Structure 1
C-alpha cells in the first residue's frame, strides 16, 4: 500500500498539536520540555515565554524551581547551541549530538593534539562549578595556548559534551555566561547510554515533537549525520510509520502520534526567540509553519530568530516587549492585514503576555502596527 500523502496544512496541525500550540496543556515544565524535545535557551527569557504559550498554568518560579532542583539542565546540545532539557534526557541527547558527529569538529581537532585526554582532565577539574575563565586557564595548563584557550573551551563543550550550566544560568533575568560543572556531578544518577540507544531516543524525541519529518529534518535539528539517523529509524522498527508530503518526500513518524484534521482550529500564539518550531526542519520543510516569503524576515543571516506570532497556525508577524517601571507593552508587527477576530485575539493574548513578562508592572498594553 502506498504511503498516505499529507498536505502542508495537515503537517502544520500535526506540528501545532505536538508543540502544545493548539491547546494549552496541564503539564509540569519538566514533562513539557521532554514533550517539546528541549527548548533553545541562548536568550534566558525564551524558554519561559515558550512554556507560557503552551502550558495551562505556568509561572517563572516553576521553571526556575526545576533548574534549582536539577530536574532541568541547560547545556550545549542540538546544533551546538544552548538548550534546556530534562535531566533524564540530557545523557542521551549529549551522547547523540556529540559522538555521532566527530567529523564536524575535525578542523578544530587538528589544533588540539589530544582532545579526548584534555576533555577528560577538564571534566575532572569541573567536578565543582567553574567559571569559563577558570576553565580556559585550566586548558592552558594542559598545553593549549592562551590565545586558543577560549575558543577551544567552546569546542570541547560542543564536540565532547559532559558539561552543564549551573543556576542562575537559565533563570529569567540572568544574561551573563554561566558557570559550568561536570554533568555527572550535577545530575543525580546520570547514566550514559550507548550511542545506538542515544540515537534512538534523539530520533524519537524529534518525531514526537516535530513529526512527521524527513531524515534531513532530524539531521538539521540535531546535527546528527543522516546515515546514523537511518540506522536508528530501522532499529525502531514497527514504532515508526511513513508518509509522503506534497512534494513526494518520505516522512517518518511515530506510530500513533497525533495527526489532527487540516481544518482544526488554531488559536493565535506568541512564540519566543529561537522557538524550535521554526528550527526543527531542513529547508524548505519550514513551509509547514513559516512561509518562504517571510523566512528572511524571521531568520537572519547570523542565525538570530525573531519573536513571532502565529495566526491560523502560520507565522504572521513579529513582536517585541518593552518593560518600564510600572508598564509593560507588547508591540506586534504583522506581515499583512489582520482580520478583526485575529486582531482582537492577538490583543487579548498579548495583554496576558504583557502581564507575564511585566513583573511588577501595573499597566499592560498591546500595540499592533
Structure 2
C-alpha cells in the first residue's frame, strides 16, 4: 500500500482538477469531467472554467446553456450545480434520497408539507409547469390554487425537491440577467431521467476528478450516506496518508510527484475543490479553513492558490468605467508569488471586465 504525503495528494488533486496546467478540453467536456460545478450564484462557473481551460470564452458556456447542452439543477449536497444535460438525467435520480430527507427535516418547510399527497402533488406540478417556466413565487401561488391551506413557499420548495426542476435561461447567461425560473428537466431537455443510474459510476467519476479520497469525502461531496456499500463492490486502489488515513482511488490513476510545480490559480466562489471533501487539508490549512467557512451569511469568497494551497481571497468591484481586482493574502507572500498573483490577476480582470476603460490589481493586507 503506497503512502502519499499531503503535498503529493495536493498535486494529484490539482492534476485531476486541471489546475496544474490549463487544457484545450471543450467546455462541456470539462463540466462533465468535474461532475458539474457548484452554481448557486449564476456566474462562478465561468471563472471555474476560465481557470482550467486555455482561451476559454464565456460565450461558449452561455451558448451551451441556451442550447440546453448544460443546465442548472439542484444536485450534490442539495445545492444548484451546472452540469451537462446527460449528467442532469444521470445524477438527479441518485440524489433523490438527499432531497427526500430535506423535505422531512427542513425546519422552515417540513411542517407545512405533512400528509401531502405526493403522487398527486408531482402530477399537479408537472401540469402547472407544462405551459411555461415559472419563478418560485409564481409556482407556489399556482400550487396554492390546489392546496389553499398550504404555505406557498413550502409548496415551491417541495416541487424543487420532488421533481427535477432546472433553472432556465436567461438566468446565468453571461452578460445578461434574469429571474430564476423553473421547468422540468424532461420538458426542457426533451429526454427522460435515467431509470436505474449506477452509483458505482458516480463513485468512479468522483474519484477521477477528486481522488484519491475517503468514503467520508465522497459522502461530503454528494450529500448521500451509506456509500461504503458502493465502494466495497468496486475494484479500487488504497493509498495511505502521512497520518495513517486510508484513501480510495482508481486502480491505474496517476499520482504526480509532490515536487511538481503548481502555478498560481484563482478559484471562483463556491468552487467544488474546496467543498467536496470531509478533510480539506489537501488544499487548506486548518486556520484558513476556519476563516473561509466562518464567513457571515454564507457568502463564500473567491480564493486563490499559491503553491497549490489556498492562501487568500479576491473580489472584483466595478464602478462606472473602471474595474478593480482586490487580492487579500491570508499569509506572508513572497515577492515572486505576489508578481505571479498580479500577472494572473490581470488576466482574470481582463476576463471579467474586458470593456472597462481602466483596470487595476491591488494587493491589500
After TM superposition, the score normalised by the length of structure 1 is 0.91
* 2:287 is equivalent to residue 293 of structure 1: yes
Matches within 5 A, 1:171-320: 171-173=173-175, 177-195=179-197, 197=198, 199-225=199-225, 227=226, 229-235=227-233, 237-238=234-235, 240-282=236-278, 285-299=279-293, 300=295, 302-320=297-315
For structure 1, list consecutive stretches of 5 or more residues without a partner in the other structure: none
Structure 1 residue 124 displacement after superposition: 3.3
Deviations 1:110-165 (A, max 9, x none): 6252224312321232233222222112221332635x2213322431x3241101
CA–CA distance in structure 2, aligned partners of residues 120 and 254 of structure 1: 41
Q: Select between 77-86 and 292-301 the one with higher mean Cα deviation.
A: 292-301
8 Å CA contact 1:76, 1:161 repeated in 2: no
The alpha-carbon distance between structure 1 residues 177 and 249, as it changes in their structure 2 partners (threshold 3 A), is: farther
- Cα pair 1:43 1:175 within 8 Å, conserved: no
SS in 1 for 2:183: strand
* 1:336 shift after superposition: 1.9
The answer to whether residue 133 in structure 2 is matched with residue 129 in structure 1 is yes
Q: Runs in 1 of length 4+ with deviation above 6 angstroms?
A: none
After superposition, the C-alpha distances for 1:55-85 in whole angstroms (9 at most, x for unaligned) are: 0021110110000110000011111111100
Q: Distance in 1 between matches of 2:129 and 2:319?
A: 39
| Per-residue Cα deviation, 1:191-241 (whole angstroms, up to 9, x for no partner) | 42315x1x223222321111111111111111111x2x2232234x33x22
| RMSD of aligned residue pairs (Cα, Å) | 1.9
Q: Matches of residues 1-369 of structure 1 in structure 2 within 5 Å?
A: 3-99=1-97, 102-107=100-105, 108=110, 111-127=114-130, 128-143=132-147, 145-146=149-150, 148-157=151-160, 159-173=161-175, 177-195=179-197, 197=198, 199-225=199-225, 227=226, 229-235=227-233, 237-238=234-235, 240-282=236-278, 285-299=279-293, 300=295, 302-369=297-364
Structure 2: where are the runs of 5+ without partners?
none
* TM superposition shift of 1:36: 1.2
Number of equivalences: 357
Tell me how far apart the structure 1 counterparts of residues 232 and 48 of structure 2 sit (CA, whole Å).
33
State the SS of the aligned residue for 1:89.
Answer: helix
Give the distance between the partners of 2:81 and 2:68, measured in 1 at CA: 14
Distance in 1 between residues matched to 2:180 and 2:307, nearest whole Å: 38
Please state how far the C-alpha of 1:101 moved relative to its aligned partner.
6.0
What is the alpha-carbon distance in structure 2 between the residues aligned to residue 280 and residue 301 of structure 1? Answer: 20
